[in-house]
Amino acid sequence: MPQLNPTPWFLIMTLSWLTFVLIIQPKLLPFISTNTPSINPTSTTLTLPWNWPWT
């Protein structure tokens, strides 16, 4: 079964991973803005029980 032979697929996976990490990712990272953390108090929401119509 040729699907079980990892020789060509491992090389393709390694080259595509290296292309992404070394070329594409550094070019994309300057465009991604990270959210700055804000100091807002967390508010809890009031949850009400569900009224089932058949009870």
User: What separation in angstroms does the CA of 38 have from each of 9, 20, 41, 42?
Assistant: 45, 32, 9, 11
pLDDT of 17 reads 92
Q: What share of the chain is helix, strand, coil (3-state, %, to 5)?
A: 50, 0, 50
pLDDT of residue 55: 60
48 vs 55: CA distance, rounded Å: 16
pLDDT digits (tens, 9 = 90+) for 8-52: 888 899 999 999 889 988 888 888 777 777 777 777 778 888 888
Coil, strand or helix at 16: helix
What pLDDT score was predicted for residue 51? 81
pTM score, whole prediction: 0.46
pLDDT of res. 14: 93
Res 2: pLDDT: 59
**pLDDT value of position 18:** 92
